[in-house]
Homo-oligomer: A and B are copies of this chain.
């Protein structure tokens, strides 16, 4: 298995900054402020699991011209210094009385040439769907007052626009982890058996994914039984029985990029209703693949898959959509819903995720990962078998 190169060359970050700055110019933004892990990583390359600690806020400012500037806790200075960012400003966090606010406001002021200047300085900050501001709300409110008359305006469309279409290097990373996970799913018959508990099955599968080359398995959910409708579940001590279905869904990681697909298997035998449900979601995925081409919309994908699910007797679907974007996070923009309407572009990495309730309390969700090429979809996950596998 060819393992893609780690990290990105500087030109990748230069291209990201240039694309952002072009959109910023169109919108009249003096700067872009981001404070969440994927956005900071996207603009700088800063990559650490330290974000799991909620204690300290982190900020990156992209000025209208030039490289991003990091305004971060001192503990991150050494790691940030290894990225392409030159201007790294730190404060001794945690310092609740001023956890970076003064430094951030001063840096913004400097980078925009005066926050109080001109006819109303506008600083972009993602505040729309799928975003949040990762700093204390009290500090955010104080920051808004501090930068007045300058204002924060929504920049969701900028980070969404940047991240939704992937570069070839990004695609290679997702492709690699999908390849690793495909192998693990194909080997599941050798790994799991009747008599194991769910907890033992999770452990065996997680370790197998790591042994096959996943850096980490941050997202692993699953269930066993004759049927189930909790599809974001953690394992229990339930023992796998003959005739059970098992579902695993994983977002495993390679170099900061995620897979996101699931598989169902049956132990020993599968009943006809489960087989039919599987065929329906498998066929719905085929319909989604046939509809996936640049210029079509996420709602076209949704319609193509929903028609198959409806015809297959679906009793509904609690997921709220039939797939989504994929990349640095296990789910990203856009969503395949009836009214999302995002126009598909070459280079988007997407999941197709048709799901149906095939009996009360019994849901089946099928998922594949693809990259959209000029002439249609290229699967990144290896296509699931057309019939429910029995192991």
Contacts and interface: CB of A to CB of B under 8 A. Distances in A.
A79 B230 contact: yes
A203 interface: yes
A248 B141 CA distance: 38
A116 interface: no
Contacts of A337: 94-95
B133 A49 contact: no
Contact of A230 (B82, B217, B220, B232): B82
Given A74-B318, A78-B229, A127-B137, A54 B154 contact: no
A9 interface: no
A210 to B, nearest CB: 5
Interface string A58-73: 0000000000000001
A53 interface: yes
A75 to B, nearest CB: 5
A268 interface: no
Contacts of A138: 127-128, 154
Interface in A118-169: 125, 127-138, 140-141, 154, 156
A99 interface: yes
B48 A233 contact: yes
Contacts of A156: 136
B54 A130 contact: yes
B234 A48 contact: yes
Interface in A71-90: 73-79, 82, 90
B133 A127 contact: no
A218 interface: yes
23 contacts: A48-B221, A49-B221, A52-B218, A52-B330, A54-B132, A55-B324, A55-B331, A55-B335, A78-B229, A79-B230, A92-B320, A94-B130, A125-B137, A127-B138, A130-B136, A132-B132, A132-B133, A132-B135, A136-B156, A138-B154, A206-B210, A207-B207, A207-B210
Interface string A216-233: 111111000000111111
Interface in A295-320: 318-320
Given A52-B330, A330-B52, A321 B94 contact: yes
Interface string A31-69: 000000000000000011110111110000000000000
A332 B56 CA distance: 11
Contact of A136 (B129, B229, B331): B129
B129 A137 contact: no
B52 A219 contact: yes
In the A-B complex, the 3 residue pairs with the smallest Cβ-Cβ separation, listed nearest first, are A127-B137, A78-B230, A53-B331
Nearest to A333: B55
Nearest to A50: B232
A94 B138 CA distance: 27
A283 interface: no
